[in-house]
Amino acid sequence: MLERFLVPKEDQILIESESMTQATKQIFLKMGLSEDDAQLSSEVLMTSDLRGCESHGVSNMLPIYVDRFGEGAKDLGINPTPNFRITRESPTTANIDGDDGLGLHVLPKAMEIAIEKAEKYGSGSVAVHNSRHIGMLAYHSMMALEHDMIGLTMTAGNSMAMVPTHGAEKRLSTNPWAYAVPADKEPPFVFDVATTQVAGNKLSLAKRVGAKMDSAWITDSKGNPILNEVDLPDDREDYMMLPFGGTRENGSHKGYGYAAVAEIFSDILSGMGPGFLMPPNTYGEMGHFVQVIIIDGFIDVDKFKKDMDLFLKGLAETKPIDGQERVVYAGLPEFEETQIRLKEGIPYHYKVIDWFENIKAELNLDFDLKKM
């Protein structure tokens, strides 16, 4: 993550991760989730916070989920006890009705089905419709790793955010992708990105930590890329997000194209139709797509993993340009951050901890956030 998104040192409170998992689980239980779903959902959020991806951890998302559980299962609302069912399948494909359940615990079940199919036939692809936010995509793709499979996750929804290249109107969400690929001794390759210049959740993070938007991150209200550093406007109507690349010359049509692919797999293949025709609700209805493929269907797993080590080590040992300490690959800094945060705790903004203390009182919960 870029430096600018980090919680400033003076605003940080370090919390031990297991105590935060327990606090989060209690909140999910109070929302009506089953024991298993509450546990799983907490783990997904905490994996995000441990990996240094706080944009998708408890800070941004949990307050929104809590609001939405209150609204019932219509449009914005989340159904705490969804009736998850397969609506169509073939030996290696399935489409699942998420019944307005929270994607955090709905999607891992879809991924399990994909993995079962791949164990039998070599690959498995599952689309999910009528679902909600899935948190950090990497969690779901990483489920493939221990099975010696390559995992892919995409998601899209009605949260209109992105203009197409040269467009003056929003047509797409932030439509992220994540791949996870196992290695032998090196930390796995885990590539998790929004197809906008910056993930949607990072905008709220930027707001909290007082960071500016860089050149070609957002447009003005007419769709023109803003090419200087600016504050994020307060009103969501006053800006739109650009596909990654930013301008046509720097490849924004590529960000736009990958966004369209995520939309096709998540929303259209799952039967929900184009996101821009859904009701315009942020974090409302969403479709997802997961896919796994067995390495052993192509080559010896052992050779593959050793070659992955050579590849990843070679990337990380690339000579850096002047002024940069090193070159990394996707998943390496997140792996390193996890080791640090497991030992030293997770740095939360004090306002986040305030929120937990308030909701603890409000909902009459019994947890103890352990400071490090």
Region 71-90 residues binding its own copies, contact defined as CB under 8 A: 88-90
The residue from 122, 232, 281, 365 that contacts its own copies (CB under 8 A) is 122
Residue carrying the six token digits 């906008």: 196
| Greatest CA separation for the chain | 56
Identity of the residue numbered 91: P
CB of 258 to its own copies, least distance (A): 7
Residue of the chain from 234, 324, 361, 366 that contacts its own copies (CB under 8 A): 324
Stretch that binds its own copies, among 18-26, 56-64, 97-105, 167-175 (CB under 8 A): 167-175
Residue 114: alpha-carbon gap to chain centroid: 19
Rounded to whole angstroms, the Cα distance separating 267 from 33 reads: 25
Q: Is 32 in the site for its own copies (CB under 8 A)?
A: no
Question: Per CB under 8 A, does 141 bind its own copies?
Answer: no
Shortest Å, Cβ 44 to its own copies: 21
Residue 247: Cβ-neighbour burial (10 angstroms; 0-12, 13-18, 19+): middle
Among 179, 239, 283, 356, binds its own copies (CB under 8 A): 179
Contacts of residue 102, defined as CB under 8 A and 6 or more positions apart, other chains included, come to 33, 37, 41, 65, 78, 80, 82, 131, 132, 133
CA 354/CA 156 separation, integer angstroms? 31
Task: Write the DSSP symbol of residue 264.
Answer: I
| Residue whose CB is less far from its own copies, 45 or 160 | 160
Q: State which residue, 121 or 350, has the beta carbon closest to its own copies.
A: 121
Q: Does 237 bind its own copies (CB under 8 A)?
A: no
Residue among 84, 311, 355, 367 that touches its own copies (CB under 8 A) = 311
Interface with its own copies includes 301 (CB under 8 A)?
Answer: no
Closest CA to 197 of 154, 156, 163, 157: 163
233 binds its own copies (CB under 8 A): no
Q: Assess 257 for contact with its own copies (CB under 8 A).
A: yes
CB of residue 251 to its own copies, shortest distance in Å: 4
Nearest to its own copies of 81, 224 (CB atom) = 224
- CA trace torsion 108, 113, 118, 123 (10° rounding): -80
Contact pick of 230, 327, 365, 372 for its own copies (by CB under 8 A): 327
Backbone dihedral angles phi then psi of residue 39, each to the nearest 5 degrees = -65, -50
Q: Does 260 bind its own copies (CB under 8 A)?
A: yes
Residue 158 lies near its own copies (rule: CB under 8 A):
no
Size of the site for its own copies (CB under 8 A): 89
* Cβ-contact 1, 53 below 8 angstroms: yes
Out of 6, 271, 281, 360, name the contact with its own copies by CB under 8 A: 271
- Name the residue among 44, 17, 43, 39 with its Cα closest to residue 29: 39
Smallest distance from its own copies to CB 97, Å: 12
Q: Which of residues 93-112 bind its own copies (CB under 8 A)?
A: 93-95
Binding residue for its own copies (CB under 8 A) from 18, 67, 169, 231? 169
221 is a site residue for its own copies (CB under 8 A): no
The answer to whether 292 and 115 are in contact (CB under 8 A) is: yes
What token pair was written down for 146?
A: 């221990």
Query: How many CA atoms lie less than 13 Å away from 305 in the CB half-sphere?
Result: 17
Stretch in the footprint of its own copies (CB under 8 A) among 43-51, 231-239, 248-256, 364-372: 248-256
Q: Does 296 bind its own copies (CB under 8 A)?
A: yes
Non-local (6+) Cβ contacts of 356 within 8 A are 23, 58, 369
d(CA 239, CA 36): 40
